[in-house]
Structure 1
Amino acid sequence: MYEHLTVVKHPLVQHKLTLMRDKDTPTAVFRQLLREISQLLAYEITRELEMTTRRIETPLCEMDAPVLAGKKLALVSILRAGNGLLDGVLELVPSARVGYVGLYRDEKTLQPVQYYYKVPPDLEDRLVIVLDPMLATGNSSAAAVDLLKASGANNIRFMCLLAAPEGVRRMEEAHPDVPIVTAAVDECLNEHGYIMPGLGDAGDRMFGTR
């Protein structure tokens, strides 16, 4: 499909995604499923983390054991819905540094508008994982990566729950060096810029708002 795209077909991922798509799934269950699926996606997106070894002593003997190398990775949530993925990934990688990019989509132009930006230092020395459940038009995601690259980030990956072909193409055009990991690529965007068949507005469903 796309060289920079990985669709995680694991049965647990696909099952949980179906439950999340169901309009009758309550807010609390949706939130828990998002936390669980984020951890499963995180296993894939962190598959090639750099490793080194450290000398330790087990109860039986000494050994050179594998450990993560380099600075702690950075997780960057695109507010507000990205926080649903962030919570799950942080449970898996509790030592990660955390940043936030505040962007909202202008409903008329579908273009992103920035209102907040706070990220960890030394991004040039860290793996940066950008988190947003929905890759729809791709405009907000591309804008977030623009900001991160301007702050020195040069090793960036993007993790989302759902993607539209339009969003994948937009990211590939703007940032072909940024791999994308997702649970599914849906059919298209509707006239309002929502992923079809999708699951609705992830932020609204996660927080119980409309």
Structure 2
Amino acid sequence: MRSLLAQRPAGGVTRRSAASARRVARVSLVVRATADAVPKPKKPQQMLVYAPPHPLIKHWLALLRSEYTPPQMFRSACAELGRLLIYEAVRDFLPTIEQQVQTPLGAVADATLCDPTKPIKVVPILRAGLVLLEQAGQVMPFQETYHVGYVRDPKTLQATAYLNKLPAKVSPDDLFLITDPMLATGGTIVQVIEDIVSRGGKAENIRVVAVVVAPPALKKLADRFPGLKVYTAMIDEQVDERGYIIPGLGDAGDRAYGTPH
């Protein structure tokens, strides 16, 4: 598949450095960064990654990256970034209904409303996935929340579930939005999506929202889940031997909740 690694400033489109492009180009997926970030895939069975080039997204990401950002500010910045990314993720995702409404002037106007009978199933990966959802109610009028929790072994980097509130069975038409600040090695996010698919869900009806992602995670997702869409502020270039994204954010959960290292 062809990888499109584009950033769009005010004056046009520029490419990342050749070295960075070669590293990320190894991932079998399509990356798009468009002014309106409206998904228009030519091949529905490709996994797509969207990095909206919005100045506010860049601003909040900068605060999250800084080691001097205190926990309360880190959490607030993460919530703001989550709101912006979720807005982009549900742009073509929210089910709608067509109705008419009476205006104060006695006229009747056509109206498009979000469908209350089809709430999006939101799946935050604990702990830090919750922070991305703190302002989600501003952009999603109707939602159901199903918490999942995973802990990663620091030596093997394998993730083990300690909490799973997903429904025992879901419909292929159900829409899911998964939030996790960082997709590094991909072990946790793959397990969560596999859990949803094993219960009857479809990868093409899943959106993932993350602050930063790395090629190892994207490669695993692209290989396993054609049709999946990932929304992120940035694709970072590498994962170190501890499984941390570089340059990354550090431990998002610890930083958001002020947990001592």
TM-score (norm: length of structure 1): 0.94
Rounded to whole Å, the distance in 2 between the matches of 1:148 and 1:170 is 16
Separation of aligned partners in 2, 1:65 and 1:161:
33
Q: Which residue of 2 aligns with 1:82?
A: 129
Match of 2:57 among 13, 27, 30: 13
* Aligned equivalent of 1:42: 86
How far is 1:122 from its partner?
6.8
Secondary structure of the structure 2 residue equivalent to 1:203: helix
Partners of 1:79 and 1:18 in 2: how far apart? 23
Q: 2:229 aligns with which of 168, 172, 179?
A: 179
Residue of 73, 92, 102 corresponding to 2:120: 73
1:131 matched to 2:175: no
Q: Distance in 2 between matches of 1:127 and 1:75?
A: 8
Is residue 255 of structure 2 the alignment partner of residue 205 of structure 1?
yes
- Give 2:193's match in structure 1, choosing from 145, 152, 156: 145
Is residue 101–residue 110 contact of structure 2 (8 Å, CA) maintained in 1? yes
Separation in structure 1 between the aligned mates of residue 245 and residue 188 of structure 2, nearest angstrom: 14
**17-26 vs 42-51, which deviates more?**
42-51
The separation in 1 between residues aligned to 2:99 and 2:169, in whole angstroms, is: 24
Q: In the alignment, is residue 26 of structure 1 matched against residue 70 of structure 2? A: yes
Match of 1:97 in 2: 144
Instruction: State the SS of the aligned residue for 1:55.
Output: strand
- 8 Å contact from structure 1 (residues 97, 120) kept in 2: no
Given the alignment, which residue of 109, 113, 121 partners 1:63? 109
Q: CA deviation at 1:126?
A: 2.4
Is the Cα contact below 8 Å between 1:98 and 1:120 reproduced in 2?
no
TM-score by length of 2: 0.77
Segments of 4+ moved more than 4 angstroms:
none
**Which residue matches 2:13?**
none
* C-alpha deviation, 1:88, in angstroms: 2.2
Number of aligned residues: 210
Q: Is the 8 A contact 1:74 1:120 kept in 2?
A: no
Structure 1 stretch displaced more, 14-23 or 122-131: 122-131
- Counterpart amino acid of residue 82 in structure 1: G
Superposed CA deviations along residues 30-89 of structure 1, whole A, max 9, x for unmatched, are 000011111110111001023321121111211220112351111101111111112122
Q: Which structure has the bigger radius of gyration? A: 2
Does 15-24 or 103-112 show the bigger shift? 103-112
Following the alignment from structure 1 to structure 2, what is the Cα–Cα distance between the partners of residues 97 and 179? 20
Consecutive unaligned residues of structure 1, counting only runs of 5 or more, are none
Q: Which has the higher helix share?
A: 1
Asked if 1 retains the 8 angstrom alpha-carbon contact of 2:114 and 2:141, the reply is: no
The one-letter code matched in structure 2 to 1:195 is I
